[in-house]
């Protein structure tokens, strides 16, 4: 935008807040800031508005057009510090997404920018971020995805328990760090793979792979909302969608979706189709057919995440159990649980329906269609609701797998940054051994750790002894906490629980941990077990651990070569 256009836009914003001001005087004031202080109109906005409010005797106008007296500036570091009635806020945030939509404001069509922002842009403290939606009523040109800004004079909006931030016409927005993202035109179609990694408005072209009507219950209990869930596919992959409007397109239909929004459910991308979204039939003779997309959009066990829906995959069922229970209605029901494997790992399976086989038929290769994924003890668990989601295949599309030795080697960084997985092995260096390693007491009812002989759920109980070792592993890039179960701890220390208890009783737990540190700190370990990933990071549950011998001469040579040291 040219300097003249910027000046004109700034003058309009001042006039919107101070209708009685003289446009020429406003322009002169902005020019003074530019000439004398090298401050552009966008940064001088609040000062100029305040000057003309004082000059005309007017007060600040809110986005609703009502006059109000501005309260003292409230400076916060985190969004969690804000309350529903807070105004005149100062906070530093990163803009996650930015979109523009036309809507009615006091009877007039106006382009209003909206999107998501996140606090703690520098990752201070625990590194956690909170995300809120925002509306920008001031048409700030420096608010783009990826930019870090300080917002002065914002206010909180609360609707149905959801908090959001209003960037008002009088707010000042200062860029602290420029965006390094490549800005995408939301009107240009993108692949579903790229859309999955996007935030905000998108346009995509895809073939309908699944569609099903559903009902969402309102949080306040006031009723239900009819929605449509489904999945689109293209050559790059698949993307689930949730339509809040009528969706009358059948499986196999090629559609173009404009101005949809990508949101995340349990970190899984989902395309939201709302009243501003346009969905129409699209024609492209070269676009892959449904049969081709069904194969290309299948995922493997290693890609499973809690919350995924309409998942297609091919697996081998190696174990199956069945149990009966009484549901909340007093009816007797059966549930079937099993273990699945493929070349990338293993996971659990739960079926609420009678299956077309029994345990004596195992192992079986199965094609699972449109199943969902839920976490069980942090590990993905595939849920089968009806028998028609299961197809028995004649043979596996991979070489024979021995379930007893099926452990997948995974890079440590990939493991700590990816989803929860079972049946994995990885290597890293021991950088810490926790002081609470050793003999502990667990509740005999829930297995939770006892503190001073008391369970948080069952009160004072006679505890059951257990043996665990807690380590922190690091590979120079990533770090993860680990915990060894009893069997792994006994093997790792070459002592059973009884001997270890005697040793700790004689020498104390501090001596036990000091001995472990003397023996293992700085050494490389190979561990087997499962990883559990959540908002707190990754935790490795270790079933087996062993030291890895490192050739010191070879390692030194590799380091010199990597850093170019002779």
Express each pLDDT in 125-137 by its tens digit: 777 889 999 999 8
pLDDT for the residue numbered 118: 93
What six digits make up the tokens of 59? 């007060």
* Predicted confidence band of residue 472 (pLDDT cuts 50, 70, 90): very high
466 has which bridge partners? 440
Read off the pLDDT of residues 27-68 as tens digits, 9 standing for 90 and up. Answer: 898 888 888 777 788 777 877 887 787 776 655 554 444 555
pLDDT for the residue numbered 183: 64
pLDDT for the residue numbered 340: 94
Report whether CATH 2.40.50.140 matches the domain 189-296.
yes
What is the Cα gyration radius of the chain? 30
pLDDT for the residue numbered 105: 67
**pTM of the shown model:** 0.62
Q: How much is the average pLDDT of 324-328?
A: 82
Is pLDDT of 551 > 70? yes
Is pLDDT of 94 > 70? yes
Residue with tokens 């993905």: 380
488 three-state secondary structure:
helix
- Helix intervals (H) in 22-102: 23-37, 41-56
Report, at the CATH architecture level, how domain 408-552 is classified.
Beta Barrel (2.40)
Instruction: Name which residue leads in pLDDT, 255 or 201.
Output: 255
Is pLDDT of 298 > 90? no
Long-range CB pairs of 155-158, under 8 A, 24+ apart, other chains included: 155/62, 155/86, 155/87, 155/88, 155/89, 156/82, 156/83, 156/84, 156/85, 156/86, 156/87, 156/89, 158/84
Contact between residue 282 and residue 255 where contact means Cβ atoms under 8 Å apart: yes
Concatenated DSSP letters of 315-329: EEEEEEEEEEEE-TT
Q: Which range, of 258-262, 478-482, 552-556, averages the lowest pLDDT?
A: 552-556
220 Rama sector, left if φ>0, alpha if ψ -120 to 50, beta otherwise: alpha
Is pLDDT of 566 > 60? yes
Q: How much is the average pLDDT of 445-469?
A: 85
Read off the pLDDT of residues 475-519 as tens digits, 9 standing for 90 and up. Answer: 988 899 999 988 999 899 888 888 888 888 888 888 889 999 999
Is pLDDT of 88 > 80? yes
Q: Which range, of 220-224, 235-239, 360-364, 487-491, averages the lowest pLDDT?
A: 220-224
Nearest to 232 by CA among 186, 283, 271: 271
pLDDT for the residue numbered 63: 45
Domain 303-402 in this protein, CATH class: mainly beta
d(CA 108, CA 186): 24
57 has which bridge partners? none
Is pLDDT of 110 > 90? no
Residues 6+ apart with CB under 8 A from 364: 316, 317, 357, 392
Q: Which range, of 217-221, 361-365, 441-445, averages the lowest pLDDT?
A: 217-221
* Predicted confidence band of residue 175 (pLDDT cuts 50, 70, 90): confident
Is-cis flag, bond preceding 8, omega within 30? no
How many degrees, rounded to 5, is the angle at CA 101 between CA 258 and CA 53? 170
Whole-angstrom CA distances from 180 to 110, 145, 177, 208 are 29, 9, 9, 34
pLDDT for the residue numbered 1: 54
Contact between residue 360 and residue 319 where contact means Cβ atoms under 8 Å apart: no
Instruction: Please provide the average confidence, as pLDDT, over all residues in the chain.
Output: 86
Q: How much is the average pLDDT of 143-163?
A: 88
Q: How much is the average pLDDT of 70-90?
A: 88
Q: Which CATH number fits domain 67-177: 3.30.60.50, 2.40.50.140, 3.40.50.620, 2.40.100.10?
A: 2.40.50.140
pLDDT for the residue numbered 518: 92
192 three-state secondary structure:
helix
Q: Which range, of 181-185, 228-232, 354-358, 466-470, averages the lowest pLDDT?
A: 181-185
pLDDT for the residue numbered 64: 46
- CA dihedral (295, 297, 302, 304) in degrees, to 10, reads -130
pLDDT for the residue numbered 368: 93
């Amino acid at each position: 935008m040219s300097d003249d256009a910027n000046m004109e836009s700034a003058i309009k914003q001042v006039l919107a807040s101070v209708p009685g001001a003289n446009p020429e005087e406003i322009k002169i004031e902005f020019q003074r800031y530019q000439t004398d202080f090298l401050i552009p109109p966008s940064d001088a906005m609040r000062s100029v508005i305040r000057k003309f409010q004082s000059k005309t005797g007017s007060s600040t106008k809110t986005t609703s057009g009502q006059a109000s007296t501005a309260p003292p500036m409230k400076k916060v570091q985190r969004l969690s510090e804000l309350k529903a009635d807070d105004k005149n806020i100062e906070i530093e945030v990163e803009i996650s997404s930015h979109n523009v939509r036309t809507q009615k404001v006091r009877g007039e069509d106006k382009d209003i920018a909206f999107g998501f922002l996140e606090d703690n842009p520098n990752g201070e403290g625990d590194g956690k971020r909170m995300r809120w939606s925002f509306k920008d009523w001031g048409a700030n040109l420096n608010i783009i995805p990826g930019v870090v800004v300080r917002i002065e004079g914002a206010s909180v909006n609360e609707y149905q328990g959801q908090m959001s931030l209003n960037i008002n016409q009088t707010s000042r927005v200062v860029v602290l760090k420029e965006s390094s993202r490549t800005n995408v035109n939301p009107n240009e179609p993108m692949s579903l793979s790229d859309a999955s990694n996007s935030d905000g408005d998108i346009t995509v072209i895809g073939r309908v792979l699944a569609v099903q009507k559903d009902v969402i219950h309102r949080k306040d209990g006031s009723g239900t909302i009819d929605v449509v869930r489904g999945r689109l596919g293209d050559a790059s992959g698949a993307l689930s969608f949730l339509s809040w409007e009528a969706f009358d397109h059948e499986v196999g239909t090629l559609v173009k979706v404009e101005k949809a929004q990508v949101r995340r459910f349990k970190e899984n991308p989902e395309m939201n189709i709302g009243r501003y979204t346009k969905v129409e039939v699209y024609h492209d003779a070269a676009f892959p057919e449904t049969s081709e997309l069904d194969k290309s959009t299948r995922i493997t066990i290693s890609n499973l995440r809690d919350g995924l829906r309409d998942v297609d995959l091919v697996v081998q069922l190696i174990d199956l159990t069945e149990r009966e229970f009484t549901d909340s209605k007093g009816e007797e029901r059966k549930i079937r649980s099993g273990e699945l494997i493929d070349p990338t790992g293993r996971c659990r399976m739960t079926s609420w329906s009678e299956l077309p086989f029994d345990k004596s038929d195992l192992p079986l290769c199965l094609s699972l269609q449109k199943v969902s994924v839920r976490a069980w003890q942090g590990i993905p668990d595939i849920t089968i609701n009806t028998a028609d989601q299961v197809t028995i295949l004649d043979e596996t599309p991979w070489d024979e797998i021995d379930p007893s030795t099926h452990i997948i080697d995974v890079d440590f960084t990939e493991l700590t940054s990816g989803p929860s997985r079972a049946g994995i092995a990885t290597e890293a260096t021991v950088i810490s051994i926790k002081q609470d390693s050793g003999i502990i007491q667990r509740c005999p009812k829930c297995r939770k750790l006892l503190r001073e002989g008391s369970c948080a759920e069952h009160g004072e109980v006679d505890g059951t002894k257990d043996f665990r070792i807690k380590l922190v592993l690091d590979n120079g890039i990533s770090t993860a906490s680990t915990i060894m179960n009893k069997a792994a701890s006994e093997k790792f220390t070459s002592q059973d629980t009884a001997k270890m208890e005697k040793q700790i009783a004689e020498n104390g737990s501090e001596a036990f941990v000091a001995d472990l540190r003397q023996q293992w700190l700085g050494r490389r370990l190979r561990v087997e077990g499962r990883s559990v990933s959540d908002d707190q990071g990754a935790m490795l549950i270790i079933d087996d651990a062993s030291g890895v011998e490192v050739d010191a001469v070879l390692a030194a040579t590799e380091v010199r070569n990597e850093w170019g040291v002779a």
